[in-house]
Amino acid sequence: MRKIKTIDDITKDGAVEFGNGYEFVDKAEDADAILMRSTDLHGYELPEGIRAIARCGAGVNNIPIEEYAKRGVVVFNSPGANANAVKEIVLAALILSSRGVVQSMQWVRDNAEDPNILVNAEKAKKAFVGRELKGKRIGVIGLGNVGSKVANACVDLGMDVYGYDPFISVEHAWALSQSVQRVGTLEDLCRGCDYLTVHVPSKADTISMISTEQLDLLAPGAVLINYARETIIDEDAVDAALREGKLSWFSCDFATPKTVKMPNTFITTHSGAGTGEAEANCADMAISELKDYLENGNIVHSVNYPACSMGKARAASRIACLHANVPNMIGQITAILAKDNANVQRMVNESAGENAYTMFDTDEHLDATTIEALKQIPAIYRVRVIK
Ligand SMILES: NC(=O)C1=CN([C@@H]2O[C@H](COP(=O)(O)OP(=O)(O)OC[C@H]3O[C@@H](n4cnc5c(N)ncnc54)[C@H](O)[C@@H]3O)[C@@H](O)[C@H]2O)C=CC1
Ligand SMILES: O=C(O)C(=O)COP(=O)(O)O
């Protein structure tokens, strides 16, 4: 029986299904793998037995992925599985930031006792006059799973859409409408925008990427939308821009001690991915990633190890080595296998950044001393006997 520990409510109704051969455990100490969402694992004491973590969702800034890589723990996410949910809430934010919908509804509630409300509403409505999105200029920062969908939807709304993403994938470049105009610098993107929306991960080069310098380039009375992470905007700069009227509105998904005090701001409860469909998509993807890794050693959608696949484990034995991406690893591994006279059927070696993965099938089971010798190679973080 393989054992799974869940952290966070993976779905609203609690339903998560791994199928035969798996059971859920209460303590991470008893588990082989963790299925989780947004809990911050920095400072968490990860038990030695954990081999893999799957984050149901896109952002992994809540997980110390490099530290875990060095401990031989593969971290997965579920790219794209919640992107449509985020796209839809960003479209809502665009409209709510432009049309006084919430304020007008509030007026109606506040005047519910007025017997002449129908007539008085006609007089009140001028306070809620907004502007249309059609023809306005929007800058989209990050054209990945969410950003590319948002950009295309804004084209469909008749907006003048500009995109900035120096690392755009070929897949997302293909998916982008030809009407989205790509620009080469953040400054060129921001210049003259009526709307700016951010869809980048939180990492060293995106922390506070929207600050006074960028806000000053926007059109007067622009709208800023942040459904990515709170760290991406400089909160003091956004607060000042709102108070000075440089920004007319700010919509974000992150209630921080500072955002909650900002004027002209709508804040949701980190609900960008909060649909039943997104929860189910993320859980399905994360569960199949964990199962393929635990049962076959295959790695799909990892954020700290390379993709690597040898299909189902059918040979007598399958071994996986998680190690540093340094020279002569294959030489050292095969030298140990040669000593054991092991016949390797297939071997795959892949690397990504500082980390690498070597997986091989052999005709017979390796003996314990061979496995121990593999573990003793200095740059090896973990050896898994999958079968
Ligand atoms: N509010 C919510 O519930 C949700 C928030 N998110 C956040 O949104 C982020 C984006 O999500 P996805 O689009 O699914 O991720 P993704 O990985 O598909 O796309 C991110 C894009 O940002 C680009 N990028 C990276 N660094 C950049 C930089 N310095 N400048 C410009 N572009 C840069 C990448 O090249 C990539 O195309 C996630 O990392 C997460 O933090 C994602 C899903 C739900
Ligand atoms: O996918 C992401 O990055 C998100 O922010 C969604 O997070 P959640 O699963 O709603 O905790």
The average confidence (pLDDT) of the chain is: 97
Atom of ligand 2 nearest to the CA of 274: 10
Model confidence at 13: pLDDT above 90: no
**What is the spatial distance between Cα 147 and Cα 167, in angstroms, rounded to a whole number?**
13
Place of tokens 């060095």: 70
Burial of 306 (0-12, 13-18, 19+ CB in 10 A): middle
Cβ(57) – ligand 2 distance below 6 Å: yes
Predicted confidence at residue 15, as pLDDT, reads 81
**pLDDT given for residue 45 in this prediction:** 95
- Whether 202 is in the pocket of ligand 1, judged by its Cβ within 6 Å, is yes
341 pLDDT above the threshold of 90:
no
Q: Token digits for 145? A: 């799973």
Q: Is 138 helix (H, G, I), strand (E, B) or coil?
A: strand
> To 5 degrees, how large is the angle CA 196–CA 197–CA 198?
125
Locate tokens 């007026």: which residue?
107
Give, in degrees to the nearest 5, the angle at Cα 188 between 273 and 154. Answer: 40
- The finding on whether 58 has its CB within 6 A of some atom of ligand 1 is yes
Domains of the chain in sequence order: 1-82+274-305 (3.40.50.720), 83-267 (3.40.50.720), 310-387 (3.30.70.260)
Mutate to test the pocket of ligand 1, among 165, 170, 200, 253 (most ligand atoms within 8 A of CB): 200
Single out the residue of 168, 186, 187, 184 nearest to residue 176, CA to CA: 168
| 146 CB within 6 A, ligand 1 | yes
For the stretch 172-214, pLDDT in tens is 999 999 999 999 999 999 999 999 999 999 999 999 999 999 9
Q: pLDDT for 16-67, tens place per residue?
A: 999 999 999 999 999 999 999 999 999 999 999 999 999 999 999 999 999 9
What's the 142 CA to ligand 1 centre distance in angstroms?
Answer: 6
Q: What is the pTM of this model?
A: 0.96
Residue 254: C-alpha distances to residues 13, 69, 184 (Å): 23, 29, 28
Q: Residue 122 in 3-state DSSP? A: helix
Sign of CA dihedral 289, 295, 299, 305: positive
Nearest CA to ligand 1 atom 2: 272
Q: Is 330 exposed, middle or buried (0-12, 13-18, 19+ CB in 10 A)?
A: middle
Q: Is 193 left (phi over 0), alpha (psi -120 to 50) or beta?
A: beta
Question: Which residues is 223 bridged to in the sheet?
Answer: 195, 249
Ligand 1 atom 19 nearest Cα:
144
- For the Cβ of 58 lying below 6 angstroms from any atom of ligand 2, the answer is yes
Distance (angstroms) between ligand 2 centre and the Cα of 376 equals: 38
